[in-house]
Structure 1
Amino acid sequence: MLPHSGAFASLEEARLEVAYYLDTYFNLDRRHSALGYYSPHQFEHDLAKHLP
């Protein structure tokens, strides 16, 4: 959760909050229109296959 002041006390605090969000709220299996209706996992997998 973003602090009331609108800023984190440290970079580490911000990283922990982002990790918490990704682990609890962000659904990596849900399809996203911005990714051509691929899930983030599938998009990353396909992208990795096409990179040199």
Structure 2
Amino acid sequence: TCHSPHGSNLGGMITQSQTDLCYSCHSDVRGQIEAGKSTHAPVTGGECTKCHNP
């Protein structure tokens, strides 16, 4: 799951860092990002939710 409803040390009560959480379902995207010569800035900063609302 993405959230821990009873508490978390991370903002938004997420269960992992945002980057790890997104890649846990979207591993195909991780490969594209790591292979790319340029990467969308929020992705490299671990801020996927700046553009995407899961």
TM-score (norm 1): 0.28
Larger Rg: 1
